[in-house]
Amino acid sequence: MKSILNYIDGEFVRGKCDFADVNPADGSTIAQVSEANEDIVDRAVCAARKALRGDWGRLIVRDRAVCLNRAADAIEARFDSFVAAEVADTGKPIALASKLDVPRAAANFRAFADLIKTAGLESFQTETPDGKNALNYAVRKPLGVVGIITPWNLPLLLLTWKVAPALACGNTVVVKPSEETPATATLLAEAMKEAGIPDGVYNVVHGFGPNSAGEFLTRHPDVNAVTFTGESQTGAAIMKSVAATVKPVSFELGGKNAAIVFADCDFDDAVSGVAEAAFLNTGQVCLCTERIYVERAIFDGFVDKLKLKAGSLRIGSPLDKTTDLGPLISAQHRDKVLSYYRLAREEGATLITGGGVPGFGSPLDKGFYVQPTIYTGLPESARCVKEEIFGPVCHIAPFDTEEEAISMANDTKYGLAASVWTTNLKRGHRVAQRMNVGITWVNCWFLRDLRTPFGGAGLSGIGREGGMHSLNFYSELNNVCIRL
Ligand code: NAD
Ligand code: 6OD
């Protein structure tokens, strides 16, 4: 059986206990993962601190950018291994991992390599009370050791989204990937070595959250900042854990995202776009749309067409290049999603399609599959309309006025993303600007430019990453004031 080990100071390190890495497509065990205890996490943090004082800490910005580009090259050189590892761990379709996850990992490194070379900082010429001048300018320094904790839905994409800017700013990192998807963070260690990134700059510890590697990392006194992507409740636990040592945090959390479809939309584009937003990655993208508001004039036609789209999705083996929908990540997560399918019935929903588990008559029956599911007819107060389900499921409700649609879309404690579907340019801008979220797409969804701010309001997060926002989070700015 394959072992997945911790990675500290350039060496693979075995812990005292193992846990199983399970393939969600058939429930088989892929590997045994070595869990990091508190000592191992401490060794990783010490290695990261030591590396700050070594060659890495002395590199000029241009050479750091070269390292990041070499990391991207190393990912591309092992493209097939990264795709295979991501597909086995997550059960996502091979076509999706090849198109989205692995290319974005390389793109994350290239984007921040480019940005750090050109990033400027503000300066001010200041008039002093005695009629003379002072010059203020800021310098960018690393924060130190950054703890990075990531989820299982887009493991490599979300990990590198944080590792790349952290390294661009000269930090060293200890990463704790999800216990469900440990493989690609570990493979990235090999790519980092190949890219010539000094030992100790990138360290990996494996394990769970509470009373395991996640908590040991966040409460470690020598970790200078924590960046986390995952559930809102986990964010709350991490806030408590970092409070004692007052660490800066960046949180990208859950969502209950809305799409607003106006009668003047390009109908076919809107149906395809909303179907993708509801079902991509089996609905396991934080940006996925679980609430759809459709103007009453096109409501029935839209529901029919979305049902046809859901019915045309090919559910099957992640290794089949034509598969659209793989399994959910785990038996536990499938239980959670199915409990919402039951709850929707109890809350009085009308089932339009799905609502159950597909049968294959093959080993895939042991996988954690569910059907893509559409409901209508729930009141806005229903738990299925309020709570994040994180599966291939959406609820569609009609609206009569723009104001009503905006008010329903904003009636949530989350605030991650929204999409607006209309051919009326003015309305597109107007509605988009009134969404209480970190990102609103108009006539598109999950279209990313890595220089733009990304994050959420309310339960969806704290802070923004992306472009200069990432550089500012991963840097300590020292303002120098010189009396002239
Ligand atoms: P999760 O919060 O359960 O776990 C995420 C990571 O946190 C894992 O590595 C886990 O081991 C670790 N963890 C758990 N408890 C911890 C603790 N007490 N201390 C330290 N670490 C701890 O999330 P998940 O189930 O892996 O991912 C799904 C969730 O992530 C969804 O809510 C989804 O919306 C959210 N998400 C948000 C974004 C975003 O960009 N906003 C992106 C992806 C996923
Ligand atoms: O595209 C990104 O940068 C990003 N952080 C996406 C998050 C997706 C959530 O599952």
pLDDT of residue 472: 97
Residue of minimum CA distance from atom 7 in ligand 2: 286
Please state, for a pLDDT cut of 90, what percent of the chain lies above it. 100
Q: Which three-class secondary structure string do you get for 443-458?
A: CCCCCCCCCCCEECCH
Contact call for residues 367 and 90 (beta carbons, < 8 A):
no
Q: What mean pLDDT is predicted for residues 48-67?
A: 97
Residue of minimum CA distance from atom 28 in ligand 1: 230
**Residue 137: pLDDT band by 50, 70, 90 thresholds?**
very high
Please state, for a pLDDT cut of 70, what percent of the chain lies above it. 100
What distance in Å separates the CA atoms of residue 474 and residue 227, rounded to the nearest whole number?
A: 9
**Residue 186: pLDDT band by 50, 70, 90 thresholds?**
very high
Helix, coil or strand: residue 120: coil
Closest CA to 225 of 476, 24, 477, 483: 476
Q: Give the model confidence (pLDDT) of 337-355 as tens digits.
A: 999 999 999 999 999 999 9
Q: What mean pLDDT is predicted for residues 80-97?
A: 98
Catalytic residue among 169, 286, 384, 394: 286
Residue of minimum CA distance from atom 26 in ligand 1: 151
Q: Classify each residue of 161-172 as buried b or exposed e, where b means 16 or more C-beta atoms within 10 Å of its C-beta.
A: bbbbbbbbbbbb
Residue of minimum CA distance from atom 13 in ligand 1: 209
Residue to probe by mutation, ligand 1, list 148, 216, 286, most atoms within 8 Å of CB: 286
153 pocket-lining for ligand 1 (C-beta < 6 Å): yes
438 pocket-lining for ligand 1 (C-beta < 6 Å): no
**Residue 112: pLDDT band by 50, 70, 90 thresholds?**
very high
Q: Is 384 a catalytic residue?
A: no
Q: Is 38 a catalytic residue?
A: no
pLDDT of residue 168: 98
pLDDT of residue 353: 98
Q: Give the model confidence (pLDDT) of 15-24 as tens digits.
A: 999 999 999 9
pLDDT of residue 372: 98
Q: Give the model confidence (pLDDT) of 364-394 as tens digits.
A: 999 999 999 999 999 999 999 999 999 999 9
Cα 270 to middle of ligand 2, angstroms: 21
Helix, coil or strand: residue 197: coil
Q: Give the model confidence (pLDDT) of 279-322 as tens digits.
A: 999 999 999 999 999 999 999 999 999 999 999 999 999 999 99
* Ligand 2 atom nearest 287 alpha carbon: 9
pLDDT of residue 138: 97
208 pocket-lining for ligand 1 (C-beta < 6 Å): yes
What distance in Å separates the CA atoms of residue 190 and residue 33, rounded to the nearest whole number?
A: 17
pLDDT of residue 257: 98
Catalytic residue among 35, 179, 215, 252: 252
Residue to probe by mutation, ligand 1, list 104, 150, 152, 234, most atoms within 8 Å of CB: 234
Residue of minimum CA distance from atom 35 in ligand 1: 230
Pocket of ligand 2 (CB under 6 A): 153-154, 158, 161, 252, 285-287, 448, 454
What distance in Å separates the CA atoms of residue 155 and residue 138, rounded to the nearest whole number?
A: 34
* Ligand 1 atom nearest 179 alpha carbon: 11
CB neighbour list of residue 234: distance below 8 Å, 6 or more residues apart: 209, 228
pLDDT of residue 324: 98
pLDDT of residue 154: 98
Cα distances (angstroms) measured from residue 367 to each of 94, 341, 370: 16, 18, 9
Torsion angles phi and psi, residue 271, rounded to 5: -60, -45
**Residue 102: pLDDT band by 50, 70, 90 thresholds?**
very high
- E-strand ranges in 400-474 read 417-421, 439-442, 454-455, 461-462, 464-465
Give strand pairing partners of 174: 147, 203
* Ligand 2 atom nearest 161 alpha carbon: 3
pLDDT of residue 342: 98
The H or E element containing residue 310 is: helix 299-312
Q: Which residue has the tokens 């992507």?
A: 229
Residue to probe by mutation, ligand 2, list 100, 231, 252, 257, most atoms within 8 Å of CB: 252
Query: To the nearest whole number, what is the mean pLDDT of the chain?
Result: 98
Cα 459 to middle of ligand 1, angstroms: 13
Q: What is the DSSP string of 6-41?
A: EEETTEEE--SEEEEEE-TTT--EEEEEEEP-HHHH
pLDDT of residue 2: 95
**Residue 53: pLDDT band by 50, 70, 90 thresholds?**
very high
Residue of minimum CA distance from atom 4 in ligand 2: 158
What distance in Å separates the CA atoms of residue 454 and residue 469, rounded to the nearest whole number?
A: 8
